Amino acid sequence: MIVRSEFRGMRRSRRARRLRLLAWRAFFGASALALLFFGLSWFSFYAPFQIKKVIIIGVNNFARGEELRAEAAVANVFAKEGIRLFSPTNSLLYPRAALASAAASSSPRIASAAAARGGDIIIVAVSERAPFAEWCSSNGECIFIDESGFGFPKAKGDAPPISSTVFADENPRASAHYLSEEKFIALRDIVSSAERIGLVIKRVEQGEGNDFSFLLTDNAEARFVLYPETAKIFLELPTTLQAANLKIAGGSVYPALQYLDMRFGGQVVFKRR
């Protein structure tokens, strides 16, 4: 019994030494990790690695206000970071995605943005929306829309819109869509089909629901419904008109019509002047 008791004591002693050794190892390991962590934190605030300047490029030279808004949005991203263990202005750890998102959302004229580092300078390159057409009210107030129908304000020095067509509405709004993107793409296809057969569209007007009309060069109306099949109806219009001794000439229909109506399926109804 005495030998067995001594043996148990030796086992407990060895187990205690192992536990103490493991505890010390855990302590030193945790201390090393803490020192490494705080060392990296200190290093992230080291002055030579801080961002010295943020540059916005790609903005229309005459749209200085837009550039200032983008700069303010970027500065706000850094301000929102608050107190952190790692510096948000470190040139290796800066919030790239947040900067690009802030710049892109700072103005409806900006379609997208990307941020990249060049030494201690951050360059935010923005891409402005390309004007597709004008969106105008009845009193002549106009803004641009892009190919998705998204409205944005004009600026001096902008390129002319791709299409000369004016999309009419009583309340053109920047940062809003003329129609939903899906519907606008369908409308854009119809405009393209009408132009391909020689019609010159002065203005697009929306009626009730999906009813639309084109105002042509001689003020004749081409009425239609916004359906995917409508673009095909326009492409077949020259053949349909020929059967009624009409033709497309001078950007409209000759002899002159008051209107032609394509809202009745495959039928084209027209009224002469």
Indicate if 40 and 52 belong to the same structural domain.
no
Q: In terms of C-beta distances under 8 Å and separation of at least 24 residues, what long-range contacts does 212-219 make, across chains too?
A: 212/187, 213/259, 216/251, 216/252, 216/253, 217/250, 217/251, 217/252, 218/250, 218/251, 218/252, 218/256
The residue among 128, 144, 176 that closes a domain is 128
Instruction: For residue 255, say if its preceding peptide bond is cis, omega within 30 degrees of 0.
Output: yes
Q: Beta strand 133-136 with 166-168: parallel, antiparallel or unpaired?
A: parallel
Indicate if 40 and 54 belong to the same structural domain.
no
Give the strands of the sheet with 166-168, arranged side by side: 151-152, 142-145, 133-136, 166-168, 201-206, 211-216, 221-225, 257-264, 267-272
Indicate if 250 and 155 belong to the same structural domain.
yes
Q: For residue 122, what is the domain's CATH number?
A: 3.10.20
Indicate if 71 and 155 belong to the same structural domain.
no
Indicate if 155 and 116 belong to the same structural domain.
no
Indicate if 142 and 193 belong to the same structural domain.
yes
pLDDT score for 45: 62
How many beta carbons lie within 10 A of that of residue 201, not counting itself?
Answer: 23
Indicate if 57 and 86 belong to the same structural domain.
yes
Structural domain for 64, as ranges: 48-128
Indicate if 206 and 260 belong to the same structural domain.
yes
203 in the Ramachandran plot: left (φ > 0), alpha (ψ -120 to 50) or beta? beta
pLDDT score for 255: 93
Q: Cα(148)–Cα(227) distance, rounded to whole angstroms?
A: 17
Indicate if 81 and 16 belong to the same structural domain.
no
pLDDT < 50 stretches in the chain: 1-2, 83
Q: List Cβ neighbours of 77 (8 Å cut-off, separation of 6 or more).
A: 95, 98, 99, 102
Indicate if 185 and 265 belong to the same structural domain.
yes
The residue among 69, 102, 128 that closes a domain is 128
Indicate if 121 and 137 belong to the same structural domain.
no
Q: Cα(219)–Cα(256) distance, rounded to whole angstroms?
A: 10
- Our count of domains for the chain comes to 3
